Amino acid sequence: MKRHYFSVAAISAAITLLVAGCSNNSTTPLDAPPVVEAPKNVIFFLGDGMGMTTMTAARIYSVGEDGELTMDTLPETAFVKTFSNDAQVTDSAPSMSAYMTGVKMNNEVIAMSSDTLAIDPVADANGNKLSNNCGTKNGTPATTLLELAKAKGLSAGVVTTTRVTHATPAATYSHICHRDLENDIAAAAVPGGAGYNNALGTTGLDVLMGGGKQFFVPVKDGGKRSDGRDLIAEMKAKNYAFASNSKEFNAIDGTKTDRLFGIFTSSHMSYDLDRDPALEPSLAEMTTKAMDVLSKNSKGYFLMVEGGRIDHALHETTAKKALQDTVAFDNAIKAAIAKAKLSDPDLKNTLIVVTADHDHTLVLNGYAKRTGKTAAGNPGVLGVVKNYVTGTIEKDLDGAPYSIIGFGNGENRTQGNRSSMISLDENTTSANTYHQESVVRVAAGSETHGGTDVFLGAIGKGADTFLGTIDNTKVFSLVKTAAGL
């Protein structure tokens, strides 16, 4: 056995160091101040109905074929499968709920267990189909990312261009068997009131902005509430700063506001093409103001931002409205990234996710020559197909021009031979209210969703975990992990 010898001096030095380490005068980390954890922020952007062909068309519309939208520059990307529990083609309720809860559910269902049945509302005392008919044993609530954030002490907000009670925003803060129960969904947002969602904690949502006043006020005041409650008054009583128009919105300093409630229209907010800035703030303005309010919390926040009217314009087959709303959505993404980088330059503590809940049937037709961006005198992608070699207008077998953008189904389908469309020109196809032609004719406003996978882009903390082709339920766990929820 090998023997080891230590000098008296070495042993003495070791004892001295040990005693010093136990001394009250030590300068080791035992006396260091506690580490203050940086806030963890999540901004989840949802372009409702923003399929990849819509994204492509919006890019060409805004910046040309070789340009880039902000969402095109996000460094991490994935494809997302969107089917629901009972349908190949989903609606917004279960698709957004899958993102928020990690649970597959049936079409029409908001943030509930997979076994929940979507039961249509019945008529209330005023004849509106808004009375709850879900039943007492019809599924259980599925916890949302927003609720997890509130449970961790983070702030939480919801911003949308639709009614705040519409399917996508509702899936963040409420639980119900049918998306059309918007009176009940509104009540879920009012802290302490009847029907309040207690999973939001005692304080509730810190920010809620969009349209949908009709579900917050009683029938006598022009709303649709049959219970006589004025939920706007109730929210004000809970110390929410309130805005009903741009002037009131602009007067609110988000950095000095703890809670913000904005309802700007009776139903959905206006399409961006039609929006009056004096009456309605833009999605970008609402997003950055929400960030001001939420960032006061040192623990961080969860913010959901929806560009909801993209979907509505696509249902109408009014492509120009859809593309402009997609650009407005992209502007909100750009503004949010810039604002987040002011306090978190490398986004080490901020995750920003951009995706869609489902596709639509919009297509880009023909071998069209490049058009460049839409501008005065150039309809761009909203024009008719022109030969990429000669530049002449392409025609179908009936001798009629056809537009670059079309739809798989929609309200505008020529009945019979298209020779009656021989005079179709770009002044017509590029108009704000033009309904692009479709293959299958359906009722006005009833163009359907599509079942194609959708794009997801991410930047910031945990963004590198989004890759490949994933199910929409997987997005929940990736966000949850990245934010430490």
Find, among 268, 320, 59, the residue nearest to 163 by Cα: 268
For 352, the token pair is 């920003």
User: How many other C-beta atoms are found inside a 10 Å radius of the C-beta of residue 24?
Assistant: 5
Q: Give 307's contacts (C-beta < 8 A, 6+ positions apart).
A: 45, 46, 47, 48, 50, 161, 283, 325, 326, 328, 329, 332
Q: How far is the C-alpha of 369 from the C-alpha of 383, rounded, in Å? A: 11
Strand, coil or helix: 310: helix
372 conformational bin, left if phi > 0, alpha if psi -120 to 50, beta if neither: left
Q: How far is the C-alpha of 409 from the C-alpha of 126, rounded, in Å? A: 35
> HSE on the CB side for 36, CA within 13 Å?
5
Find, among 317, 270, 261, the residue nearest to 439 by Cα: 317
- Please say if 92 is a catalytic residue: yes
For 26, the token pair is 């030590």
Instruction: List the catalytic residue out of 92, 97, 270, 438.
Output: 92
* In 111-243, alpha helices (H): 145-151, 167-173, 182-187, 231-237
* Sign of the alpha-carbon torsion through 57, 62, 66, 69: negative
Q: Which residues share a beta bridge with 288?
A: none
Residue labelled with tokens 């340009």:
67
Q: State the helix-helix crossing angle for 472-483 and 92-101, rounded to 10 degrees.
A: 30
Q: Are 153 and 299 in contact (CB under 8 A)?
A: yes
Q: Are 112 and 139 in contact (CB under 8 A)?
A: yes
DSSP annotation of 172: H
Q: Are 57 and 379 in contact (CB under 8 A)?
A: no
Q: How far is CA 164 from CA 186, 214, 291, in A?
A: 8, 11, 18
Find, among 366, 358, 372, 364, the residue nearest to 406 by Cα: 364
The length of the chain, given as a count of residues: 485
3-state helix, strand, coil in the chain (%, to 5): 35, 20, 45
Q: Which amino acid is at 250?
A: N
Q: How far is the C-alpha of 114 from the C-alpha of 112, rounded, in Å? A: 7
> Strand pairing of 449-450 and 438-441?
unpaired
What is the set of active-site residues?
Answer: 92
